[in-house]
Each structure stands twice: as C-alpha cells, then as structure tokens.
Structure 1
Amino acid sequence: MANSLNGLDLDALDRHLRAVGVPRTGELRAELISGGRSNLTFLVYDDAAKWVLRRPPLSGLTPSAHDMGREYRVISALAGTAVPVPPAVTASDDESVLGAPFQMVEYVPGRVVRHTEDLEALGDRTAISETVDALIRVLADLHAIDPEAVGLGDFGKPAGYLERQVRRWGSQWELVQRENDPNDADVRRLHARLAESVPPQSRSAIVHGDYRIDNTLIDRDDHTKVLAVLDWEMSTLGDPVSDAALMCVYRHPMFNTIHANAAWASPLMPDVDDLAQRYATAAGHSLDHWEFYMALGYFKVAVIAAGIAYRARVGGGVAEGTEEVDQAVGPLIAEGLALLKG
C-alpha cells in the first residue's frame, strides 16, 4: 500500500478503519485536496467508497485552532437536522495513528464554488442570487437549532462570547505577528476599541465561525440546494449575529489576497448591505450594533490572515502564496477602525 503522502500514513489509517469497523474494499489510496489554508484535507478512497479526512497542519499550530474533535462532534450532532452535513465516519485523538488528531466523514459529491469562475458556472446573476438565498437560509436554520436538542448544550459557554472573541483574537495576534510588524499599533488600537464597545449579546446559538460559499457543497444539478456545510473547526455556542457579520466581511476585496480570485469576494455576489438584510429577513431578527459585529469580523479575518502567513514562515503553509496573505492585515484593520471611529 502506498503511504508516502506527507501527514497521512495510509497503512496506519487502514488499521484504524478496520479496527473501528469501517467496511473496506481493496487498497486504500489518498490525495491531498487543494485549497486548504489551515487544516490538511485529504480525499481517501478504496474500490467502493470515498471519504474526506482532515488533520492539523504539520507545523505552525496556534492554540484553540485545528480542533478535530470539535469539528467531528458538531457534524455528528447536526445529522438529521435542517443543516446539511457530511455523514460522520470516525475521529481519533490518538496521535499514534497519524501523528495528530484527525476526523473523517463520507465524501459528498457536490459542487465546490471556490473561485469566480466556479461562481459564474452557477449561471447568471439571478442564479447566483438564488444560491446565496439558499446559503443564508441554511445559516439561519443553524442559528435556529436548539443546542440542547441536538446534544450540544455544553458545546461552549453561551454567555460572554463576544468578550471572549475579542480576547481570543487579540491573543492570537500576539502569537502570529511579524517582528516589528507595521500593523501592530493599528491592531492594538482596534482591539482596544472592540474591548470598550462590546454590546449585549443578541442571543445564543450554534455558530459556524467561518461561513461562506466555499465552505459548502452545492448540488451540481440544482444551484438552490446546499448539500453540505463543511469546515466546522471554529464552531461553538455564541452570538449568531457575529456569524452573519463575518459572512459579510468576507465580501471585502482584500479577501482575494487571502484566497486568490475568491468567489465570495466577487462583484457578482450581492453586496454587504444586501447580504445583511437577507440574513435578517431569513433569521427573523434585527441586526443591532451591526458596526461592532462587522469590526470584530474584520479584526478576526485580519488575524487569521496573519496566522496563515505565520504558518508559511515556519513551514506549515499548505497552499502556494501563503507568504503574501499578510498584505491583507492592514486594510482589514483599517476597515474595522473606520467602523468604530467614535
């Protein structure tokens, strides 16, 4: 059996799958799925089945990120709800298998919309708008789920989520910034303004933490149907308006520096105000203190960009061009500061 993929020992994985009772037919093979900026994602298959396996990067890990157990737990809990997820297969914290925790789900053969050309393939602007409506409906459905009813009542601390987000991403900046980083003063300024202006939490819900079109799979034959929501590593119990705001922040053109030619940042997509209104309508909730939520989203994405560049510097980048993504940090922080200029 071939086992040369960096970060994936197929012999060890095969033994694990057989031990946990996953049916196997023929030789186990795998390939790295492109597009990842954080965790490593592999397509694993034999003669009869396909799976998707995710594990942390080989280096450059940051605290609280890359949580395989968290991702697997929420996928398992959401099975059978209004939120489509890939069927869960197995997860393990035993690092003797792959050298790191991992989780594996069934492969869902849907359409990946990552780049502008993928978006154009959905059809005209009307078709794209219909897909966006479907995506927002799924996000609103997620936020409407009772965490207790699906066994996620202890998935996070419902109270104090916004304060913790401000602290968490401020702490992440301390870990990933460059030496003598030119953005440091503005990052600290925005962090202080956020800490001073945290509003009352809108309500508590399951939040995805990274919701946009390229973290979903769309039906190949029906652009209005979302087959699966992916990449749950940042999910928790928190303020759902922060999820909606982050979705809107990803519309910023600088997101193209993080993900080149990104579908979600395309001019073909509805603008930020339109997305926000669609979410408010679908969720049936107002978007009070919207400027704070958007500023927090810009802060978060800026620090994520710095983290991607950090992993590239220490040898853990998993996609080409990761050395350049910190160019997005300054403009994103500036957007956040402009929102909280008072």
Structure 2
Amino acid sequence: MGEFDDLTRPDLVGPLLAGILGDEAWRDPEVRLISGGKSNLTFELACAAGSVVLRRPPSGHILRGAHDMGREARVQAALAGTDVPVARVLYSADETGPLGVPFYVMAKIDGYAIRDVLPDGYAEDAVGRTALTNALIDTLADLHAVDPYAIGLDGYGRPTGFMGRQVRTWSRQFEATRTRPAPSMDELGRRLAAYPFAEPARPSIVHGDYRLDNVLMDPADPSRVGAVLDWELSTLGDPLADVGTLLFYWTEAGERSPLLIPAVTAQDGFPGRAHLTERYAQRSGADLADLAAYVAYAHFKFAAIVQGVYARATAGVMAGQDFGDLSGEAERLAAEGLDHWKG
C-alpha cells in the first residue's frame, strides 16, 4: 500500500476514474503529494493514461465551515465557460463518497506554479516579469467582472455585509486555534470590526486567496495564466478583499516575506504594488480609495490562517509537511498590519 493511499483510496477512486475517463489504466493509479498546500491536501494521481489532481481536506478534526471541497468544485465548474481559466472538474463527492470526506478530482493543467524561484529561462527580464504581473492582475479583474448569477452561482455567498462578516469569521477561526496571548491580533480585529467598509456596487466572485502561487502560469507564455487554483475560500462579496490580499502577498525588494509566502516578486524586474494597484484600477474601473483597510484585513486573515496551519501541523494532520516555526507568526503579521494601516 502506498504512503498516501489511506488519504486518497486509489483502490476505490481508480475504478471511478476508469469509468469516467473510459480507460482501464486508471484502475491502479500511483499517488504523489503535491507540495504547497497548507490547508487542504492536493495529490497527483498518475497512470499510463495521464495524470489528474485530487483535492481533499486534511485528516483529523475539521473546523466547521472550513475545507469545503464542494464549493471549490462548484465554482470551478461554473467558471468553465468564462474568460477565467480553471481546471475542468472530473468528479466530486461528499462525505458519503469513497474517502469519507468531501473531495474532488480535476484535470491536471500543464503550467508553472511559481513560488520561491522562477523556472530557468522563464520571465527572466523586466519585460517578461511585467507581462507575468499584468496577466495575474488582469485575470483577477476578469474574475471580478463575471456576473455570478449568470453562471449559476446564486446562493454561493451572502454579499451584503461581506466585510464585517469576514472579520467576524476570521476572528472565530483564530480563537478556535489560539495558543497564546496575541494583543496585536486582538487590536487589529477590533479596528477592522469598527471600520465602515462600503458595500460594493455589485457583488463579485471573490477568490479569497488570490496570489501568484495559487495560479499556474502558461509554460510557453508568461503573459498568460493557465489556470486559477485553490478556490477553498471563494464566495460572493467585495472584490477589493482580493485586491488587498494580493497586495499583502506581493513582496517588494528589501522586504521580509511572511513565512509560508513565496518571495519571488522581490527579485529585480518585478513591478511593485503601485503598478498592480494602477493596473487593476484601469482594467476594472474600481475606486481604490479605501484599499489600505483591505490590506490590513489581509494581514488579519492570513494571521488567522497561519495560526490554523500551526495548529494542524502541531497535531500531525498535514501529511508530514514541515512549515517551519510558526509559533509567533500570527502575532507578528497582525503587528505589521497595524503598523501599515493608518485608517
């Protein structure tokens, strides 16, 4: 039995794929953990007929509302006919399915998942790195331009009061995994809860964790996104939450990147956050006057996520992945958010 067979059950999933894809070679796939997942687990299932990707929650206790694989599958299936590039969903199941937890299988897209380094010869000068940056921000603007109701995403989220609800949600998630006093996290949460976030003119599909290493870049063309991945936190709401999150993740030269966040954008030739902000404003027509508050929110949200990763890794339910010493990272991120936010 393979190392991850208990998490992926290829003896059960393989025959399902053989029927769906019409090839008996899928009955006995090999399983490999794809690195990079810090919340849900992502595996490649491969055989002579090709490769597919399986997404499932971590083992062990799961917080209510977290790791919703059904939502990931639904939004990707809905976006399949739009300008937003996504992987084709092949199969999905709830907790009554063969794994005993919700999961789905999607087509494997050829592309570069860019984290700490660029592939050799890829976007190696400022022209290529600017093209890559523009593709990333343009794809986000295109996502926000999609009418969610026109593609069957009615009921996918509650747009009214979105930001206030998000702050409350991440406050609860942090409290559920809190391990020590965190005065900066508490203060940032209080300030965000009191901030008068405006309602957007119309609801958008919000990815929830949009950043460079959550997309696959076209291996032949750095000006093209091959697929947007990791839709676990997606919903309907305020598109500026995504913009603030992307800016938080976008490390500039000379800055310290938070743990768990790749810092490839700090290399020479990558545009800074001001370029991303201007590009998004031009493509979307959005008013970005309150963007600093959304960047502060991104600090708060990611601090809560980091605390959850720390708790799950300490409990040993992340398939043996090592994320380094995260014990004080949430509080450091919150303090940074307070320092940067003057609102």
TM-score (norm 1): 0.91
Query: 2:326 is paired with a residue of what secondary structure?
Result: helix
Match in the other structure for 1:17? 17
Q: CA deviation at 1:17?
A: 3.0
Is contact 1:113–1:119 with CA below 8 Å preserved after alignment? no
Q: CA deviation at 1:312?
A: 0.9
Match in the other structure for 1:297? 298
Q: CA deviation at 1:322?
A: 2.4
Instruction: Judge which range, 42-51 or 159-168, deviates more.
Output: 42-51
Q: Does residue 45 of structure 2 align to residue 48 of structure 1?
A: no
Match in the other structure for 2:185? 187
Is contact 2:53–2:105 with CA below 8 Å preserved after alignment? yes
User: Separation in 1 of the partners of 2:62 and 2:250?
Assistant: 27
Greater relative contact order structure (CA < 8 Å, 6+ sep): 1
Q: CA deviation at 1:266?
A: 4.8
User: Separation in 2 of the partners of 1:333 and 1:265?
Assistant: 21
Unaligned runs of 5+ in 2: none
User: Separation in 2 of the partners of 1:94 and 1:189?
Assistant: 38
Q: CA deviation at 1:53?
A: 0.5
Matches within 5 A, 1:63-74: 63-74=64-75
Match in the other structure for 1:57? 58
User: Separation in 2 of the partners of 1:257 and 1:130?
Assistant: 26
Matches within 5 A, 1:65-144: 65-118=66-119, 121-144=122-145
Match in the other structure for 2:220? 221
User: Separation in 1 of the partners of 2:174 and 2:91?
Assistant: 33
Is contact 2:310–2:327 with CA below 8 Å preserved after alignment? yes
Match in the other structure for 1:166? 167
Query: 1:257 is paired with a residue of what secondary structure?
Result: coil
Q: Does residue 289 of structure 2 align to residue 278 of structure 1?
A: no
Query: 2:305 is paired with a residue of what secondary structure?
Result: helix
Match in the other structure for 1:258? 260
Query: 2:221 is paired with a residue of what secondary structure?
Result: coil
- 1:38-61 deviations in Å (ceiling 9; x for gaps): 111111122213211100011353
CA spacing shift, 1:201–1:117, aligned 2, 3 Å: same
Instruction: Judge which range, 309-318 or 219-228, deviates more.
Output: 309-318
- 1:125-175 deviations in Å (ceiling 9; x for gaps): 221111110111110000000011100122101111001111001001101
- Whichever residue aligns with residue 245 of structure 2, its letter is L
- Whichever residue aligns with residue 312 of structure 1, its letter is A
Match in the other structure for 2:157? 156
Q: CA deviation at 1:86?
A: 0.6
Is contact 1:256–1:265 with CA below 8 Å preserved after alignment? no
Instruction: Judge which range, 314-323 or 108-117, deviates more.
Output: 314-323
Match in the other structure for 1:202? 200
- Whichever residue aligns with residue 280 of structure 2, its letter is Y
Matches within 5 A, 1:3-42: 5-18=5-18, 21-26=20-25, 27-42=28-43
CA spacing shift, 1:93–1:267, aligned 2, 3 Å: farther
Is contact 1:216–1:230 with CA below 8 Å preserved after alignment? yes
Q: CA deviation at 1:254?
A: 5.0
User: Separation in 1 of the partners of 2:333 and 2:196?
Assistant: 19
Is contact 1:312–1:323 with CA below 8 Å preserved after alignment? no
Is contact 2:313–2:321 with CA below 8 Å preserved after alignment? no
Query: 1:45 is paired with a residue of what secondary structure?
Result: strand
Is contact 2:94–2:102 with CA below 8 Å preserved after alignment? yes
User: Separation in 2 of the partners of 1:137 and 1:5?
Assistant: 39
Match in the other structure for 2:244? 245
User: Separation in 1 of the partners of 2:139 and 2:165?
Assistant: 26
Q: CA deviation at 1:229?
A: 0.5
Match in the other structure for 2:325? 324
- Whichever residue aligns with residue 65 of structure 1, its letter is A
Matches within 5 A, 1:230-241: 230-241=229-240
Matched length:
337
Query: 2:98 is paired with a residue of what secondary structure?
Result: helix
Instruction: Judge which range, 60-69 or 191-200, deviates more.
Output: 60-69
Query: 1:109 is paired with a residue of what secondary structure?
Result: coil
Is contact 2:136–2:225 with CA below 8 Å preserved after alignment? yes
User: Separation in 2 of the partners of 1:319 and 1:269?
Assistant: 33
- Whichever residue aligns with residue 153 of structure 2, its letter is L
Superposition RMSD on alpha carbons, in Å?
2.1
User: Separation in 2 of the partners of 1:272 and 1:119?
Assistant: 25
Q: CA deviation at 1:273?
A: 2.3
User: Separation in 1 of the partners of 2:70 and 2:141?
Assistant: 24
Query: 2:14 is paired with a residue of what secondary structure?
Result: helix
Query: 1:143 is paired with a residue of what secondary structure?
Result: helix
Is contact 2:56–2:104 with CA below 8 Å preserved after alignment? yes
Q: CA deviation at 1:93?
A: 0.2
Q: CA deviation at 1:34?
A: 1.4
Instruction: Judge which range, 113-122 or 38-47, deviates more.
Output: 113-122
User: Separation in 2 of the partners of 1:256 and 1:121?
Assistant: 25
Query: 2:259 is paired with a residue of what secondary structure?
Result: helix
Q: CA deviation at 1:294?
A: 1.0
Query: 2:236 is paired with a residue of what secondary structure?
Result: strand
